[in-house]
């Protein structure tokens, strides 16, 4: 007799039917147990690569800033050496080089936006003082060029006295600086009597010259006008009332004209403009004239 297999009852049939999942059933999106394990493995593997990438980025940034520092150090040393060789400034002088922004990026682009070099006790023409030079839009790879620039020279009282001692007849040893004027003291004789006269001189730039014009006159502690002084002393007053001119242009390149002079506090500040073509035009590098 052939054994017969018992037919499944309705409960078993319904249980089997419940286990069947048809395509499109939402339950098909649930990961199987071994699939969840693979997802966790992939996530664990992804983190080391992310950390490695971050480390590389940090190292690149650090290398960039290290290179920036090295580049600035090299530029500063080169500028100091050139100033020392060309102007006779001691190599240990306090020379500051300021280039705003990223030097490496500007060098890569072939142009320096702005560069400022400052140094104490530098001689510019017949002036010796604290000097600050600013160059704008300096080209690096096209043979040397720039759009323009400026030079500022700051002189104290002793340095102004040294400058004015080159002018015949000027009483340089009596000079003082009192904003906004340069002051001096001289003497005038009338009827055999010497009378001290104080003069406040207004400085200005005039055609490449430093020009000092009498502004305020003081006799015996009282202010008087130029007309009164001339009426009292006649032609003798002309020596006091004259303008005093200092030729600066003939001792400077033609491309470096004096454009402004002022007394600030107890210093005299002289401003020069740098012609952008001075690097390429030999005529602008020749001495100017008054």
Q: Is 164 left (phi over 0), alpha (psi -120 to 50) or beta?
A: alpha
Question: What pLDDT sits at residue 104?
Answer: 86
Find the helix or strand (DSSP H, E) in which 123 lies.
strand 111-124
Structure tokens at 198: 């104080």
Read off φ and ψ for residue 165, nearest 5 degrees.
-70, -15
Write out the two tokens for 58.
């940090």
Check residue 179 and report its DSSP letter: T
Query: How many angstroms separate the CA atoms of 28 and 176, rounded?
Result: 97
Q: Residue 26: left if φ>0, alpha if ψ -120 to 50, beta else—which one?
A: alpha
- Per-residue pLDDT band for 209 (boundaries 50, 70, 90) equals very high
Stretch 204-229: mean pLDDT, rounded?
92
* Per-residue pLDDT band at 133 (split at 50, 70, 90): very high
d(CA 259, CA 204): 9
Question: pLDDT class for 57, splitting at 50, 70, 90?
Answer: low
Q: 129: cis peptide before it, omega within 30°?
A: no
Q: Which of 53-62, 96-105, 211-220, 263-272 has the lowest mean pLDDT?
A: 53-62
Assign 87 a pLDDT band (cuts: 50, 70, 90): low
Distance CA 274, CA 114 (A): 14
Please report where in the chains the tokens 């939402």 appear, as a residue. 26
Lowest mean pLDDT among 36-45, 205-214, 226-235, 239-248: 36-45
């Amino acid at each position: 007799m052939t054994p017969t297999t018992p037919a499944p009852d309705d409960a078993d049939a319904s249980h089997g039917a419940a286990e069947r999942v048809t395509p499109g059933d939402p339950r098909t999106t649930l990961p199987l147990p071994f699939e969840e394990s693979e997802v966790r493995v992939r996530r664990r593997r992804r983190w080391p690569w992310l950390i490695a990438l971050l480390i590389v980025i940090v190292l690149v940034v650090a290398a960039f800033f290290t290179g920036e520092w090295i580049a600035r150090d090299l530029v500063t040393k080169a500028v100091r050496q050139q100033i020392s060789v060309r102007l006779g400034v001691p190599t240990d002088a306090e020379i500051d080089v300021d280039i705003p922004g990223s030097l490496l990026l500007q060098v890569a682009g072939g142009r320096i936006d702005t560069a400022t070099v400052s140094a104490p006790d530098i001689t510019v023409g017949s002036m010796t003082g604290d000097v600050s030079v600013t160059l704008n839009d300096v080209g690096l790879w096209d043979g040397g060029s720039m759009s323009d620039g400026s030079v500022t020279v700051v002189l104290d009282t002793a340095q102004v006295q040294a400058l004015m001692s080159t002018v015949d007849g000027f009483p340089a040893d009596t000079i003082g600086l009192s904003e906004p004027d340069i002051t001096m003291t001289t003497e005038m004789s009338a009827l055999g009597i010497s009378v001290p006269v104080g003069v406040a001189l207004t400085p200005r730039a005039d055609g490449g010259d430093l020009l000092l014009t009498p502004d305020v006159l003081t006799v015996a502690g009282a202010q008087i006008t130029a007309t009164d002084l001339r009426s009292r002393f006649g032609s003798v007053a002309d020596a006091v009332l004259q303008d005093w001119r200092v030729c600066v242009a003939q001792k400077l390149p033609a491309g470096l004209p004096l454009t402004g002079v002022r007394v600030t506090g107890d210093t005299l500040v002289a401003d020069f403009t740098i012609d952008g073509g001075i690097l390429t035009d030999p005529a602008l590098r020749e001495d100017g004239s008054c």
